[in-house]
Amino acid sequence: LQLESEVRTALEQQEFSLSFQPQIELETGRLYGFEALLRWQHPQRGMVPPDDFISVIEHSNLMLPLGYWVIERCFVVARRLMDAGYDDVKLAINLSADQFVDPQLIAFLQHKLAHYQLPASLFELELTESTLVKSVSDTLASMQQLKAMGFCFAIGDFGTGYSSLSYLKQMPVDTIKIDKSFLFGMLDNHADYQIITSTIAMVQKLDLKVVAEGVESRAQLRILQKYHCDFAQGFYFAKPIPEHELFAVLQQKV
Ligand code: G
Ligand code: G
């Protein structure tokens, strides 16, 4: 409860920010896009990791305002990227389960796309397996509407939740993100290695794209390339970049 009131204050005091982690297309080495990751700089506690507060406030009525703040911030950044000539850089936005089935989500997105004059195809909405499990029929209905508007969908933390493979068949998903826990073990754990390489093969046979998260070494990258993983994200390429540094970093790279 204390955390809830602190989150309320934090929204008012603008203590939240976003960092953007690059996603690299492995075949070309080019920047494909960024995943937006929430950061909370607390005046006393310092940087509070999202896992520590999202799970708490997901059960309060604060997750929605925070989630809408995240979306709007991403739209502002997308607009700035387009204005700076980066017009095909994608942004992946994490959505909470409640936000995904919020009746106002679609109208909010429509309104903001028009306001910032952005194509929906720039955005990948990222859900986790637990979101999918919460309410399959509501989620499916939202996804179909958003898909018709042009948004793409990614499933994050793939393999760690409770979802069944049948969701991949039923839902209009574009991208699967292999959870970083599998990447961490892949070089010395046979099971992790097999899970990764066979997930890549399966995802591609379904004509979906696959992102490996948590790539930290050249050895991991080589294996991902050998198995034709589409995209990768991780400290080997770059840590999440604070929004205020994003354009300076982009300019260095080009
Ligand atoms: O940035 P970090 O690896 O600490 O993020 C941990 C988790 O927090 C991520 O895997 C993601 O699921 C979640 N997360 C990060 N940013 C957001 C956000 O903006 N909204 C939601 N709902 N979850 C987020
Ligand atoms: O599941 P999600 O995509 O939200 O996870 C992103 C989180 O993982 C971020 O908090 C980010 O800081 C962290 N992360 C991203 N890349 C790496 C990596 O290569 N190694 C480790 N240990 N964490 C990473």
pLDDT of residue 163: 64
Do the Cβ atoms of 12 and 65 come closer than 8 Å?
Answer: no
**Closest protein CA for atom 19 of ligand 1:** 38
ipTM of the complex: 0.92
**Both tokens assigned to 85:** 């000539």
213 lines ligand 2 (CB under 6 A): yes
Pairwise CA distance, residues 232 & 239, whole Å: 12
User: Using one digit for the tens of pLDDT, what is the confidence trace for 116-141?
Assistant: 999 999 999 999 877 777 777 888 88
Nearest CA to ligand 2 atom 21: 214
Q: Is 214 left (phi over 0), alpha (psi -120 to 50) or beta?
A: left
Ligand nearest to the CA of 214: 2
The residue whose CA has the least distance to atom 18 of ligand 2 is 214
* Alpha carbons 67 and 128: distance in angstroms, whole number: 15
Question: Looking at ligand 2, which atom is closest to the CA of residue 157?
Answer: 1
| Low-confidence residues in the chain, pLDDT < 70 | 1, 163, 254
| 152 backbone dihedrals φ, ψ, rounded to 5° | -105, 165
Mean residue pLDDT of the chain comes to 92
Q: Encode pLDDT of 218-246 as tens digits.
A: 999 999 999 999 999 999 999 999 999 99
Set out the domains of the chain in order of their start, with CATH numbers.
2-246 (3.20.20.450)
Give distance in angstroms: CA of 239 to centre of ligand 2.
Answer: 8
The verdict on pTM exceeding 0.90 is yes
Smallest CA separation from ligand 1 atom 2, residue = 50
The ligand 1 atom at the shortest distance from the C-alpha of residue 18 is: 19
